[in-house]
Amino acid sequence: MEILGTVIGVAVKSLIFIVGMFLASAYLTLIERKFAGHVQQRPGPLHVGFHGILQPIADALKVLTKEDIVPANVDRVLFYMASLLAFVPVIMILAVIPFGEPFTVFGLEIKPYITDLNVGLILALAFGSISIYGVIFAGWASNSKYPMIGGLRKAAVLIGYEVALGFAMVGPLMMAGSFSLREIVAAQDGFFGAFIWYQPIAFIVILFAILAETGRTPFDVQEAEAELVSGYNTEYSGMKFGLFPLAEWYIGTFVLSAIAVILFFGGWKGPEIFGPLSPFVWFFLKVGMMFMFFLWVHWTLPRYRVDQITEIAWKVMLPLSLLNIFITAFIILIKG
Amino acid sequence: MVKLKFLDRPKLSIWERIIFLDFIKGLRVTFKNLIRKTITTKYPYEKLTPPKRFRGVHAHRVKDGNEPLSFSVLGKFMEIGYDESRCVACYMCQQACPMPTLFKIEAVQLPDGKKRVTKFEMNLLNCLYCGLCVDACPVDCLIMTDVYESASYNRENCVIKMDDMSDRGRDFDRRRLKEKDRIWIDNEERTKLWGQIRWT
Amino acid sequence: MDLNLIAFWSLSTIAVLSALGVVFFRNIIYAVLSLISTLIAISGLFFNLGAELIGALQILIYAVAIVVFYVLVISTVPKYEGEAIDLKYSLLSTPFAFILFMELAYVSVYGLWVSGTGVFGPAMLNQVSNVKAVATMLFTKYLFPFEVASVILLVAMIGAIVLGKKDIVED
């Protein structure tokens, strides 16, 4: 019976996380559209509900009821599988992200995370990079030129930036002395304890890597709509199409922002001015700010050429992150 | 062997290299736009009135006493009552039109020797709104109005008939005949929308 | 029924089935897909055994970093459907497979005797984390092999750069 209880507990918690993330990502699309609109001096969605507050629901209904076209010469198995391959790993990152310390409600201890592995960060990195297969296989299975080019570009970009991202994360890890995301947060004390003050280089590298990994603008070569119709998801339609941007642009950016916040901005720590909900409010405030920053960059910058992107990855970002490891190690060695 | 030609990239300054100065400049511009007021109109609920010279859906002016001198000559041969389209079926518009099959104009000779226009149709699906037909019209009959909502649910409705055109012309003249012929509705409106324009 | 046992049997079934898929799929991209599936299932087995670090690295390095290059290369070639069983290659690979099998069998049997002994026994591992144990062993007892491996990798990297760097002919 005990096993059954554990299984049900984990399943319910996972379900809450996944459904919550789905709803959140629906509203992240609204945030993005409003933001993009106002950057271009237009109001964005306005008429469905108050200032478009019901627009995500309308969009979801539209996408779900759309005709689902599968082109004749695609590889059907992979074609269906690719959209899930892109979507599932990204949402699996949620399994290792802690949203706060355990707290007690009505005598029941609730842990706002699914697992607290001591290799959480590596696992997040691993899941994040598995989603690359969704893009490549989507490109391959579509049996068409533009998706193919888009998928290969995404692969080339991701290979470079995964390496830079992994090495850049080593800096904060060395300061915290643990892979566990909870312990990394615990290692950051007070306003000036946040790792952003000690690891600016790593932060910049991680910003670039997250932009590249989620395919946001300076690095959105995989779906460069000016060159490759819509990149790897050109042949998709209906909800299969909807899953790709949902996974990449919204859930991906959100969870990676959460990881960046945990690594550099002290996670859920902050002055207790919101009462008992304070950690959650701080965490989501920080993640929201981070997300908005990515939106800001996305709707500002033009696109890099693909060779420039890989050049930046290997020639600038990787040496920078290695330099950061070296400096951090040196300082830790001196200070003891 | 393909010949490769390399062009040098423009050199970046040292600050652009190190702290991504151009990124920061761009971000500043978008942030300024973010906090500005939006400039769009909420289209189905608010509609902009285009300038008088706007090339919208075509219309026919009617015989209302404001005809040009040429009409007094041509009109003698025509059977046109008061408040009817002043088209004289000269086919000038059809001649001027770059699209040969756009106009369908028919006229008959009445027993008393006068001419009466029976059909004047324009297939707006073929129209590119160049305005050459308007320039060609000798009696200032064919005009372009400020109506721009020309979409319809089927193709037949995109062919406009003479009666509708006369109605539209009457309506347009009632609203805007007296208006001064300016690019913008008025300076105040324009300034509100687009800011002060300095004419050189 | 033990939860670990269920996890073990399901994961190892997936691993074995997809390993068979790697061998018998005629479509090369499906073969790669089953390879990924095998590797991920094996990483699940590592998690099941309590070796989270190796499990995570298994996904990160084997399932992604290495296989992605296979996928890159394979997905650029036109659709190729080879023969699943080629007699020549089967015969050629038999001795190698046998040697590999013997090696793995030796390591597994040897591991039966020595696992659980040494500094990092189960009791010690409960106190320090997996990562610390691996790092300690890597940087004390196995420092020399570790450095040699890194030098070999460096040499390989430099070699790859030299090979990949072609002078562009300008007329």
Has residue C99 got a pLDDT over 90?
A: yes
> From CA A21, how far away is CA A251, in angstroms rounded?
7
Cβ–Cβ < 8 Å for B107, B116: yes
The verdict on C76 and C133 lying in the same domain is: no
Containing H/E element for A238? helix A238-245
Q: What is the mean pLDDT of residues A117-127?
A: 80
Within-domain flag for C40: yes
The verdict on C72 and C139 lying in the same domain is: no
> From CA A318, how far away is CA A321, in angstroms rounded?
5
pLDDT attached to residue B98: 92
Which domain range does residue C125 map to?
A: 119-165
The percent of residues above 70 in pLDDT, for chain A, comes to: 96
By CA distance, what is B32's nearest residue in A?
A39
**Of A204-218, B19-33, C112-126, which gets the smallest average pLDDT?**
C112-126
Q: Which residues of A touch C38 (CB under 8 A)?
A: none
Given C81, C108, C142, the domain boundary residue is C81
**Number of Cβ pairs < 8 A linking chain A and chain C:** 80
Optimal mutation site among C6, C25, C48, C71, interface A, most CBs of chain A within 10 A: C71
Q: Concatenated DSSP letters for A103-172?
A: EEETTEEE-SSS---TTHHHHHHHHHHHTHHHHHHHHHHTTSHHHHHHHHHHHHHHHHHHHHHHHHHHHH
Cβ–Cβ < 8 Å for A176, A183: yes
> C37: distance to nearest CA of chain A, Å?
11
Crossing angle between the packed helical segments C28-49 and C67-76, to the nearest 10 degrees: 170
- Which whole-number Å values give the CA distances from C112 to C5, C12, C116, in the listed order? 19, 19, 9
Has residue C116 got a pLDDT over 60?
A: yes
SS3 B110: coil
pLDDT, tens digit, 9 for 90 and up, residues B16-57: 777 778 888 888 888 888 888 888 888 888 888 887 888 889
Within-domain flag for C125: yes
pLDDT attached to residue C168: 61
pLDDT, tens digit, 9 for 90 and up, residues A225-277: 777 777 788 888 888 888 888 888 888 888 888 888 888 887 777 777 777 77
Domains in chain C, number:
2
**Of A95-109, A145-159, A248-262, C12-26, which gets the smallest average pLDDT?**
A95-109
Answer with the residue of higher pLDDT: C166 or A325.
Answer: A325
What's the pLDDT band for C102 if we cut at 50, 70, 90? very high
pLDDT attached to residue B199: 65
Has residue C48 got a pLDDT over 90?
A: no
Q: Which residues of B touch A41 (CB under 8 A)?
A: 33, 36-40
Strand order in the sheet with B115-123: B103-109, B115-123, B159-160
SS3 B96: helix
The percent of residues above 90 in pLDDT, for chain C, comes to: 12
Cβ–Cβ < 8 Å for B104, B121: yes
pLDDT, tens digit, 9 for 90 and up, residues C66-91: 888 888 887 777 666 656 567 787 78
The domains of chain B are located at 58-176
Within-domain flag for C86: no
| Chains linked to B by 3 or more Cβ pairs within 8 Å | A, C
Terminal CA-CA length for chain A? 49
The verdict on C138 and C65 lying in the same domain is: no
Structure-token match 């570009």, residue found = A153
pLDDT attached to residue A120: 78
Has residue C171 got a pLDDT over 60?
A: no
Structure-token match 């059907």, residue found = A76
> From CA A118, how far away is CA C132, in angstroms rounded?
10
C40 in A contact zone (CB under 8 Å): yes
> C164: distance to nearest CA of chain B, Å?
19
What's the pLDDT band for A197 if we cut at 50, 70, 90? confident
CB under 8 A, 24+ apart: contacts of B178-186: B179/B52, B181/B52, B181/B53, B182/B51, B182/B52, B183/B51, B183/B53, B184/B51, B185/B49, B185/B51
What's the pLDDT band for A1 if we cut at 50, 70, 90? low
How much is the mean pLDDT over chain B?
A: 84
Q: What is the mean pLDDT of residues A121-133?
A: 83
Taking CB atoms and an 8 Å limit, are A39 and B40 in contact across chains? no
Has residue C20 got a pLDDT over 80?
A: yes
Cβ–Cβ < 8 Å for A313, A161: yes
SS3 C30: helix
The verdict on C9 and C70 lying in the same domain is: yes
Q: What is the mean pLDDT of residues A165-182?
A: 82
pLDDT attached to residue C148: 92
Q: Concatenated DSSP letters for A189-227?
A: -SGGGSGGGT-HHHHHHHHHHHHHHTT-GGG-GGG-TTT
pLDDT attached to residue B183: 60
**Joined tokens for residue C72:** 């890159």
- B104 φ, ψ (degrees, to nearest 5): -130, 100
Work out the widest C-alpha separation in chain B, in whole angstroms.
90
**Of A154-158, A324-328, C101-105, which gets the smallest average pLDDT?**
A154-158
**Cα–Cα nearest to A327, from A209, A200, A206:** A200
pLDDT attached to residue B53: 83
pLDDT attached to residue B196: 72
What is the C-alpha radius of gyration for chain B, rounded to an integer number of angstroms?
26
Has residue C23 got a pLDDT over 70?
A: yes
Taking CB atoms and an 8 Å limit, are C53 and A119 in contact across chains? yes
Structure-token match 């904060």, residue found = A172
CATH number at residue C43: 1.20.120.1200
Cβ–Cβ < 8 Å for B103, B159: no
Nearest to C64 among A7, A78, A130 (CB): A130
> From CA C74, how far away is CA A18, in angstroms rounded?
34
How much is the mean pLDDT over chain A?
A: 82
> From CA A172, how far away is CA A165, in angstroms rounded?
12
The percent of residues above 70 in pLDDT, for chain C, comes to: 85
pLDDT attached to residue C103: 93
Give me the CATH code for the B58-176 domain, please: 3.30.70.3270
pLDDT attached to residue C100: 92
pLDDT, tens digit, 9 for 90 and up, residues A28-51: 888 888 888 888 888 888 888 788
What is the C-alpha radius of gyration for chain C, rounded to an integer number of angstroms?
20
**Cα–Cα nearest to A214, from A177, A172, A249, A240:** A249
> From CA B93, how far away is CA B100, in angstroms rounded?
10
**Joined tokens for residue C26:** 């005629």
> B10: distance to nearest CA of chain A, Å?
14
Within-domain flag for C58: yes
**Number of Cβ pairs < 8 A linking chain B and chain C:** 5
Containing H/E element for C122? helix C122-127
Has residue B189 got a pLDDT over 80?
A: no
The domains of chain A are located at 1-65, 77-335
Has residue A54 got a pLDDT over 80?
A: yes
Within-domain flag for C52: yes
pLDDT attached to residue B185: 59
pTM: 0.78
Residues 266-305 of chain A with CB under 8 A from chain B are: 296-297, 299-301
DSSP bridge pairs for B160: B122
Q: What is the mean pLDDT of residues A172-197?
A: 78
Has residue A18 got a pLDDT over 80?
A: yes
Taking CB atoms and an 8 Å limit, are C170 and B4 in contact across chains? yes
DSSP bridge pairs for B142: B60
**Cα–Cα nearest to C60, from A214, A169, A211, A127:** A127
> From CA A257, how far away is CA A24, in angstroms rounded?
14
> From CA A234, how far away is CA B137, in angstroms rounded?
49
